[in-house]
Chains A and B, each alone.
Chain A
Amino acid sequence: MLTSPISKWDDAAAYFTFADNPTMIMGILALSAVVVAASIIFGSFHEKECYMKVTKNGH
């Protein structure tokens, strides 16, 4: 995948991957934020399940 916004180093400034492609930048940013939020939600489900198991097992 060609992701470089530059073809030479002379006068280069922002050179991170997709720096010249706002659509991709927003897409990757949104995806990473969704991963963060989804991880918290996933963790919450796991946690609730663990508490229910303890209750079910009579502890």
Chain B
Amino acid sequence: MVGSSFETACGVFDGERWDMEQQLADLAAKLAALEKSTSMAGTINSEVFYWWCIALMIVIHAGFLAYEMGASRAKNVLASGIKNILAFAFIVPTFFYFGWWIYLAFPDGLTVSDAAADGLPWAAKMGPNLADNATGIFWGAFALFAATTASIMSGAVIERIQMTGFIILAIFLGSVVWILGASWGWHPTGWLTAQFGFHDVGAAGCVHLIAGTFALGVLLNLGPRIGKFNPDGTANDIGGHNMPMTVIGLMLIIVGFFGFLGGCIIYVNGGQWTNIYGQPATLSAFSFNTLMGFCGGLIGAWVKTRDPFWMMSGGLVGIISAASGLDVWYPPLAFLVGFFGAFTAPIVAKLIEKAGIDDAVAAVAVHGYGGLWGVVACGLFAAGYPNMNDMPPVSLTGQLVGAGVFAALGFLSGYVLSLALRIFGLLRVPANSEILGLDKTKVPLSAYPEGLKALPAE
């Protein structure tokens, strides 16, 4: 009787154990399914985030388009617009052919990294691939950064550059030069950060400083617009035909910058955001400092000039000035850095003009100087922040080295390529076409067929 009860009890126990094991197995399977589902949701969230960053970065391009067209005289307005749109159109495919490969290839300097194979235009990752949700969306965001660099140069050279020469310059800047700089200093293992602790979270250096100095090199070979300077060297103000369009364009650029800066932070599935260098960061930090830098810039330029064009350009300078340390600034410091950058940028623009250089939209001052100040300010006021994997921390020396490398890379490449284009007759439009206006010369449409009339040719 006892034995029978014991056997019964054992049987019940075995049955319960079997049930429990079955339940555990079910639970483990559910947990694995849940982990897989959560991981996939994170992957898709990441794609969604960068998708909308790309869309917002296209707004930057729309802003530059309105800005340049407004800053052009009525006789050149459509030609300026076409030029801007074509920069975008040619950069995207060329960034596919070699731009992304350059980024992956050269973090060590000029030797090709093993990772470059994934960026070759025939690689399995460079197209629809169910095992890779990242490459396409990052490639897209970087292609839009590339388009931004070309837009920066585009405004400086309006009303007298040949389209062919401009397209070649835009491709070279957007799909070669800036991305080489990004590989060096805006990459988790780029040699500038690995050896010098270079820190430029919001791309003030590789995008703005490089594009601004590239534009400066081009402007030296391109020369000023006819009528910009008098024989005694004094400058005339060549106003655009639509200042409200210019100001709205600048505001669109600011809107787009939230996509640009969103594209500068790395979504980590299941973990904290990081910056491009792998250091922990938050989008909240970007929010604090982008807005504070922007408003510092608006106010700084307003105090200095009282000019709405410079106010909006100043807002842009403010964001660029705060960009390098966007992840670490105490927000009022970002405000002050932005204020100083925007207060001084009009002075830099004046100096450039006094040097006989005709930068139609002050791109060199806004982006070149703004980017330089942003990189240096990070070294002045954010030194000591630690790096990853025993790489050096942020320092003024590291920031100065990075600024010097980017400025030289941008200026020399812009100068040499535009010199070659000038020698081959592909850089400047003939004087008679410039005087007549580029729209009448080569655009089969009139910008304002029933309204605004172009001023007489000068």
Decide if A46 touches B90 in the complex (CB within 8 Å). Answer: no
Point out the residue from B90, B97, B430 that lies within 8 Å of A40, measured CB to CB.
B90
CA of A51 to CA of B426 in the docked complex: distance in angstroms?
Answer: 12
List residues of chain A with CB within 8 A of the CB of B435.
59
Chain A contact surface mostly: helix
- A50 smallest CB distance to B (angstroms): 4
A40 adjacent to B128 (CB under 8 Å): no
User: Are A54 and B436 in contact, with the CB atoms below 8 A?
Assistant: yes
Q: Which of B93-132 contact A (CB under 8 A)?
A: 93-94, 97, 121-122, 124-125, 127-132
Q: Which residues of B contact A33 (CB under 8 A)?
A: 93, 97
Count of A-B contacts judged by CB separation below 8 Å? 68
Q: Which residue of B lies closest to A58 (CB)?
A: B432
B94 smallest CB distance to A (angstroms):
7
Bound together, the chains give a CA A15 to CA B127 distance in angstroms of 8
Enumerate chain B residues within 8 angstroms of A54, measured Cβ to Cβ.
Answer: 430, 432-433, 436, 441
A12 in contact with B130 given A29-B121, A36-B94, A51-B433 (CB within 8 Å)? yes
Per-residue contact bits, chain B 129-168, to A (CB 8 Å; 1 contact, 0 not)? 1111000000000000000000000000000001110011
Complex-state Cα separation, A16 to B121, whole angstroms? 13
Q: Which residues of A contact B426 (CB under 8 A)?
A: 44
Residues in B with CB closer than 8 Å to A38 are none
Interface residues of B in 432-458 (CB under 8 A from A): 432-433, 435-436, 441-442
- Closest CB in chain A relative to B311 CB, distance in Å: 36
Q: Does B429 contact A (CB under 8 A)?
A: yes
**Interchain nearest-CB distance for B441 vs A (Å):** 5
Give the residues in chain A near B127, CB-CB below 8 Å. 14, 16, 19
What is the distance, in angstroms, from B19's C-beta to the closest C-beta of chain A?
34
> Contacts A14-B129, A51-B433 hold; do A40 and B93 have CB atoms under 8 A apart?
no
Q: Which of A12, A22, A26, A59 contacts B436 (CB 8 A)?
A: A59
Do A50 and B433 touch across chains, with their CB atoms under 8 A apart?
Answer: yes
A11 to B432, CA, bound (A): 63
Complex contact A51–B441 (CB within 8 A): yes
Least CB separation from A9: chain B residue: B130
Task: Report if A13-B124 is in contact (Cβ < 8 Å); known contacts: A36-B93, A54-B441.
Answer: yes
7 tightest CB-CB pairs across the interface, nearest first?
A16-B127, A14-B124, A50-B442, A44-B164, A13-B131, A16-B128, A14-B129
Interfacial residues, chain A to chain B (CB-CB below 8 A): 9, 12-16, 19, 22, 25-26, 29, 32-33, 36, 40, 43-44, 46-47, 50-51, 53-55, 59
27 contacts between A and B (CB under 8 A): A9-B130, A13-B130, A13-B131, A14-B124, A14-B127, A14-B128, A16-B129, A19-B127, A25-B122, A29-B97, A32-B93, A33-B97, A36-B90, A36-B93, A40-B90, A40-B167, A44-B163, A44-B164, A51-B429, A51-B433, A54-B430, A54-B433, A54-B436, A54-B441, A59-B432, A59-B433, A59-B436
